[in-house]
Homo-oligomer: A and B are copies of this chain.
Amino acid sequence: MNNTLQDLERIFHPRAISIIGSSNREGSFGRLFLEGIIRMGYPAIYPVHPREKELLGLKAYPGLREIPVEIDLAISLVPRTEALKVVQDCAVKGVKGLILFTSGFKEKDVEGGSLEQEIVRAAREGGVRLIGPNANGIYCPAAKICTFPGALKVGGLPTESGSVAVISQSGSFADYTCQVLAGKNIRFSQAAGYGNESDLGAADFLEYCGADKKTRVITGYLEGIKDGRRFYELAKKISRQKPIIIWKGGLTESGAKAALAHTGALAGSRQVWEAMFKQSGIISVHSVEEVTDYVTAFSWLPLPKGKRTAILSGMAGTNVGTADNCLITGLELAQYTEKTNKKLMAILPAIGTTAANPTDIGAGVLVNPALYGQAAKILLEDENVDMLITITGPDNPAAVRGLAEAAKTANKPMVISLFDITGLVEPQIKYLQEKHIPVYTDPKRAANALAKMAEYADFKGKE
């Protein structure tokens, strides 16, 4: 393990932390962070406040140097003009990592750019690793620590560990993506929002998550990358072991201008990025919704052997449109074996059904929902079928249960699409996500997710 990986290990699993700029004041960030981190259950918090002796029941200290224990991680909420002093104090105290939540540096103006340079120099000289400035820091469930303000505001993120890592230049992406995924029963190894990337950045976090045994899927949001070549080489290597799903912001001219104002990043040309993603096997996405759709699929499903997809529903029209969407996204429709056709015909009513792919098991499933699970099992056994998309209404819970059973015994990717009927769909989604079965509120999104899996499997197969 190189030095940076060791530093990150210490930062993600700190023995004690300090919050500089902690506050008792209602509606302040100082209070929001302190309250939130206490609530997550992190046990060793040492708040710093110039005057208060106690904050929310914790002993407060006038400065870092007065804290009687070693501090591995500090979080600074002070204004930009005071940030250099905080870095210097961290250096003296021997703090390993400093999260600079503070913004107003190179992304803001020339003065901010100079301030940032001074801070980086001081940190390097003092052996302090920086996350930020303009960053919201880290989340590590195993350490019961989270410094994402949005999540802290609503009760924090899960303290149970999982296998998804989130790396983001944008703090709000890290914050909200973790919240969205947590609500869909995804759990995390670690996450980081690193902002201006003045020291620790995309390549460092990627390398850490790549080396981390718990992490099986990596997702993230990038604007620019300080060390593009290193990131590319790492991604190429790591994506052979685990999928890397990235949203690259600033692909258009206006987006790039906004990125410069956001994190001071030079976003680069779209063509260059797209080529880089393709060559390094990175799965490219353009929204948090796509991240969610793909992370659940990659987390919970085995990789497909090919792109031959079966479609199953009792809704012929939706089947037709879904067949279109599969083909448009690069999937193929599976040609069932004769055996499968026979087995299907043996269980399907003769009228109002189609055995061939896309398989229409007829409107009769409204009154005979068991057909869904039976047909799904037959299709999953077919050697010509690599993946299965099933579609039903959330008004048919017995059908959903039958499909869930088929999915759990499958050794192939199977996903379920439910129509997004408010009031009916929520309990069915919850039921499936608790069983780690990817569920989509539209079959087009299901097709997109499976297409990404097939593309990635193809990439991995080409050693």
What residues make up the interface of A, taking CB atoms closer than 8 Å to B?
A: 27-29, 32, 79-80, 103-104, 108, 134, 136, 149-150, 153-154, 168-173, 176, 179-180, 183-184, 221, 223, 247, 249-255, 258-259, 261-263, 286-290, 292, 313-321, 323-328, 333, 350-352, 354, 356, 358, 360, 363-364, 366-368, 393, 395-396, 419-424, 426, 429-430, 441-445
- Residues on B with beta carbons closer than 8 Å to the beta carbon of A364: 29
Bound-state Cα–Cα, A277 to B111, Å: 54
Cα A364 to Cα B172 with chains together (Å): 12
* Minimal Cβ-Cβ distance residue in B for A79: B351
Would you call B315 and A421 a contact (CB within 8 A)? no
30 A-B residue pairs with CB within 8 Å = A103-B351, A104-B350, A149-B366, A150-B366, A153-B395, A170-B315, A170-B316, A170-B320, A172-B315, A176-B419, A179-B424, A184-B422, A221-B317, A221-B321, A249-B321, A250-B324, A251-B328, A253-B327, A254-B324, A254-B326, A254-B327, A255-B321, A258-B320, A261-B360, A263-B316, A263-B317, A287-B325, A287-B442, A288-B419, A422-B429
Q: How far is the CA of A423 from the CA of B154 in the complex (A)?
A: 11
Closest to A316 in B: B262
Flag if A324 contacts B286 (CB, 8 Å): yes
A367 touches B442 (CB 8 A): no
Query: Which residues from B are CB-within-8-Å of A80?
Result: 351
Q: How far is the CA of A16 from the CA of B431 in the complex (A)?
A: 42
**A421 near B286: Cβ-Cβ < 8 Å:** no
- A29-B363, A262-B360, A290-B444 given; 9 more Cβ-contact pairs under 8 Å: A28-B367, A103-B352, A172-B314, A183-B423, A249-B317, A258-B320, A286-B325, A289-B420, A289-B444
